[in-house]
Chains A and B, each alone.
Chain A
Amino acid sequence: MSAHRDTVRILLRIAFRNLVASRVRTAIIGAIILVGSLIVVVGSSVLDSIDRGMRTSIQGSLGGHLQIYDGRSEDQLALYGDMTGESRLEPIEDFAALKAVVAKVPNVKQVVPMGIDQAMVSSGNAFDIALERLRGDVRRLEAGEDAPELRASYEAHKAHVRRMAGLLKEELAQARTIIDLQGKDAEERRQDWAHLVRAADPAFWAGFDRDRYGSLEFLENKIAKLAMEGGFTFLRYVGTDPKAFFQAFPLAEVSKGEMIPEGRRGILVGEQYADEWLKLKNARRLDQLEDAKDRRGKKIAKDEEMQRWVRENRSGLREILLQLDPVRAEEVASDLRAGLGAPADEDLEKLLARLFDTTDENLHRHRALFYSAVAPRLRLYQVNVGDVITIKAPSKSGYFSSVNVRVYGFLRFKGIEKSGIAGMMSVMDMQSFRDLYGYLTPERAEEIRRMQADLGAKEISREDAEAALFGGGGEVVAESKARPIDESRLVARGQAGPGEDLQARVYSKEETERGVALNAALILDDPRRSDETAAAIRAALDGAGMGYREVKGPNGETVRSGARVIGWQEASGIVGQFVTLLRVVLFTAVVIFFAIALVIINNAMVMATLQRVKEIGTMRAIGTQRRFVVVMLLVEIAAVGVLFGLGGALLGGGVVALIRAVGGIPATTDMLYFIFSGPALFPKLYATSVAGSLLVVLLVSILSALYPALLAMRVTPVEAMASEE
């Protein structure tokens, strides 16, 4: 036994001395191993951190731990959308029934109903707002109120609308020079023009007080539509049980306003969505400028995109000017004059142009001035807390349905506020989702039955609707399901509308859950056992006759049915594949690197062995066993592997620490923001990545030494005898 120990000791000594003796070779092999280990450590540490970030982002915002959707669906569930938009899913017809089965499975903590879709939101227009203010004053005056403040406000609002009409006329005058007045709709255009001429006529305003309501109606019916500059934006929302949603997704928080009260209809608008689409464009661009300058270290002087934003800001003053009535306009002007140090005779338009002419030097000052002097007197967002907005969407069967929902507040996901992927998402109640989706709630069915009775239409079931519509014969009934869209009510702020009673209605949890959902997010007690739990859920669903099945249809096609259970990563579509993709890239790079390393190290070791044939032969001749020679060679390379592998890991740790010290890897795009789960990625050194890199390095070095070791083993003692002839 001691013979072995002594032998091993002397072989180690020879091995190490050989390494020292051939420094260049050792250095080359060492450098390769060092770099390899460095790559593995830094790469896997960054990847693991990204993985964690993604996990946090996805699990905490929409994904949960498991997802269930209907197996009949054409597409895979993609929580964040895919290339073509939303994934086309068949609905889970009765969420409550599904929940009853799934919630009983051990380790399932929560089952949250979801319906993710896109809808259109009118982004409103400033003329409506101005008219609404004027109408408010008119109503009070007509009611007999009379106070100097009211009079002043009335005059100011009147002047505001008058100025807007003037601006509109100017605009149309410009447009007339390029529009063909003889073409289609020519008559309509001539009429529009005549209305605008009238609205801008001083005589109209002089006579306004004679028929206040009549004048208002003229403005509302004939002029307001000409100012429809807003159009629609697309809102991505998840219809859900808001209370359950907030419990399940800890990253979600109400950033402004309040939570949707339990059982009420309502929406929490995604903060990022609001910033991007509903915020006053100039304010948004100022924010973007500051963000680019501070967070991404760009300079207006050097960046074309930033220069474009400044140009757009300077030419985008109309949106602000239209919003300001003369009183507010004067307030803003005097504040700006003081803040900018401008001459006393400079008018508001020039002052605003000066304010938005931002440079790298004055950006912070001007933005602060905008938010203190201008913003408070504007409607900064087209949608505010407390508004009732109308959103509409093509329902499942193709016709448009629309719902009015109250905006209870704004929503953000902690840590990933700036990420468009999560930040665009709004949260809406389940009932409104079902209305938009085109699913009949019992009350809706009742309402339609009443309407049908009124119209004398015959009852048609959902399944038969298509046949009835396109099968010829029957009356047109589909219209009765869709609520007619009232254009003027798309921005129905505070007005009593048909949706108002629905706003007040409180739905029970049972009502919320009994009905259609597109998917269900599952939160587990112990996320690590998710595979096991998924299997248990599948079994439970099978037991309840709701399990996922694929059967061959009569024509050889695959007929799928039942509820499908998938993991959060799979459910997150392309976004979820990102880490997998990165892993494949890193893995491939590492494999290629080590394949090359293997060849180089192998080569060097073969050379070294061949150089030492005589020495090895001698050792064999004087009584060294074969296996000791092999061990010697392996020890030699393994020692290099461990030593330089550790060095590389240490260096990798240093690189990771350095990255952290300089503020992490900045998230320069929305996607990265989401993936990093924050503004920057702070890679962490995990023991597993260090151990992994050492293992890989050791494996590679030993693999590369196997052939040389085989050569060494084949060296016969006879080689020692060979004389140098």
Chain B
Amino acid sequence: MAIVSVKNVSKDYMLGKTVVPALRDVSLDVEPGEFLSIAGPSGSGKTTLLNLVGCVDTPTAGTVVVNGRDTSALSERALTDLRLRTLGFIFQSFNLVSVLSVFQNVEYPLLLQGGTTRRERADRVVALLDAVGIGSYGRHRPSELSGGQRQRVAIARALVTRPRIVLADEPTANLDSKTGETIIDLMKEMNAKDGTTFIFSTHDPKVIAHANAVVRIADGRIAARESPRAAAGGAP
């Protein structure tokens, strides 16, 4: 059974008085454990699709079912809770809380969730920081880290609640290609280890090559769903 199910979804934005369709009649199923890349040029609607799956936005038409729950039927509070407990987010520009240390940034979702002791949290955070390779930076502030290091912190933060799905919106766009690749490898490693479903958007063919499934999107429509090799090969 699909962990994410998008059915006949359309999403329109208002730009002044004109309606701009961002997604038109999109359907997509994502299976648990997938490492799925949504590829397409900028403005193609991939961020919109990701936002809908990430429960930060609701569709104009159609349904989005995440982990068995129809997002359009949920209140703002319930959506927030769903994001907290089921999803993890990785952002293009890392989006760490600047006034908190690396450790505190990673710990933050656990605090929101509650139900963990300080010790449990510390164990989990430290283990994750080690796993993403920045175990010695716990006390640093985000501003003291490089872009790659910050994105590692973000990955740790996304994974700390052990979510079913991790969404990453252009996670490598603000990184050089070498660092980008190691970040993708790290994500893939996590995917392989825990079976967490990863959905990330990108327009970088090198990154697409790492995915095990690619959904190509253009002009708000899904153009194709292909294997990564084909996708990488077919890229211009």
Chain A residues with CB below 8 A from B169, complex form? 721, 723
Q: How many residues of chain B get a CB closer than 8 Å to chain A's CBs?
A: 40
Asked if A614 is at the interface of the complex by the 8 Å CB criterion, the answer is yes
23 contacting pairs across A/B (C-beta < 8 A): A3-B112, A3-B115, A4-B114, A6-B111, A7-B114, A9-B111, A10-B108, A13-B104, A14-B97, A17-B100, A21-B98, A614-B95, A615-B95, A618-B95, A618-B97, A622-B89, A622-B157, A623-B81, A626-B76, A717-B83, A720-B95, A721-B50, A721-B51
A566 to chain B, nearest CB (A): 59
Chain B residues with CB below 8 A from A4, complex form? 114
Chain A residues with CB below 8 A from B80, complex form? 620, 623-626
A21 touches B99 (CB 8 A): yes
CA distance A3 to B121 in the complex (A): 13
In the complex with contacts A2-B115, A721-B51, A721-B56, A623-B99 CB distance below 8 A: no
A721 touches B76 (CB 8 A): no
A contact set with B: CB distance below 8 Å: 2-4, 6-7, 9-10, 13-14, 17-18, 20-21, 614-615, 617-626, 716-718, 720-721, 723-725
A14 touches B100 (CB 8 A): yes
CA distance A626 to B93 in the complex (A): 22
CA distance A720 to B112 in the complex (A): 18
4 further A-B pairs in the complex, CB-CB below 8 A; given A6-B114, A614-B93: A10-B108, A17-B99, A18-B99, A618-B89
CA distance A274 to B83 in the complex (A): 88
Asked if B12 is at the interface of the complex by the 8 Å CB criterion, the answer is no
Asked if B109 is at the interface of the complex by the 8 Å CB criterion, the answer is yes
Chain B residues with CB below 8 A from A3, complex form? 111-115
Tally of A-B residue pairs with Cβ under 8 A?
Answer: 105
A616 to chain B, nearest CB (A): 10
Asked if B85 is at the interface of the complex by the 8 Å CB criterion, the answer is yes
Chain B residues with CB below 8 A from A718, complex form? 51, 56-57
Contact digits for B87-109, partner A, Cβ 8 Å, 1 yes 0 no: 01101110111111000100111
B115 touches A717 (CB 8 A): no
Chain B residues with CB below 8 A from A20, complex form? 99
Residue of B nearest to A4 (CB): B114
Chain A residues with CB below 8 A from B83, complex form? 621-623, 717
Chain A residues with CB below 8 A from B174, complex form? 724
Residue of A nearest to B56 (CB): A717
Asked if B77 is at the interface of the complex by the 8 Å CB criterion, the answer is yes
In the complex with contacts A7-B111, A7-B114, A10-B111, A625-B98 CB distance below 8 A: no
Query: In terms of DSSP, what is the predominant structure of the interface of chain A?
Result: helix
Chain A residues with CB below 8 A from B170, complex form? 723
Docked complex: B183-221 residues within 8 A CB-CB of A:
none
CA distance A17 to B170 in the complex (A): 30
The 4 closest A-B pairs by CB, nearest first: A3-B114, A623-B84, A17-B99, A717-B56
B93 touches A7 (CB 8 A): no
Residue of A nearest to B117 (CB): A2
A617 to chain B, nearest CB (A): 8
B114 touches A723 (CB 8 A): no
Docked complex: B117-159 residues within 8 A CB-CB of A:
157-158
Asked if B47 is at the interface of the complex by the 8 Å CB criterion, the answer is yes
A313 to chain B, nearest CB (A): 75
Residue of B nearest to A716 (CB): B56
Contact digits for B52-95, partner A, Cβ 8 Å, 1 yes 0 no: 00101100000000000000000011001101110011011101
Residue of B nearest to A22 (CB): B99
Residue of A nearest to B81 (CB): A623
A723 touches B93 (CB 8 A): yes
Chain B residues with CB below 8 A from A617, complex form? 95
Chain B residues with CB below 8 A from A716, complex form? 56-57
Chain B residues with CB below 8 A from A17, complex form? 99-100
Chain B residues with CB below 8 A from A620, complex form? 56, 80
Asked if B28 is at the interface of the complex by the 8 Å CB criterion, the answer is no
Residue of B nearest to A625 (CB): B80
CA distance A258 to B18 in the complex (A): 99
Asked if B30 is at the interface of the complex by the 8 Å CB criterion, the answer is no
B108 touches A622 (CB 8 A): yes
CA distance A83 to B107 in the complex (A): 74
Chain B residues with CB below 8 A from A625, complex form? 77, 80
CA distance A725 to B92 in the complex (A): 11
Chain A residues with CB below 8 A from B173, complex form? 723
CA distance A160 to B222 in the complex (A): 130
CA distance A305 to B91 in the complex (A): 81
B112 touches A624 (CB 8 A): yes
Chain B residues with CB below 8 A from A6, complex form? 111-112, 114
A622 touches B109 (CB 8 A): yes
A320 to chain B, nearest CB (A): 84
CA distance A707 to B170 in the complex (A): 34
B85 touches A623 (CB 8 A): yes
The residue among B42, B80, B84, B107 with the most chain A CB atoms within 10 A of its own CB is B80
A13 touches B93 (CB 8 A): no
Chain B residues with CB below 8 A from A624, complex form? 80, 84, 112
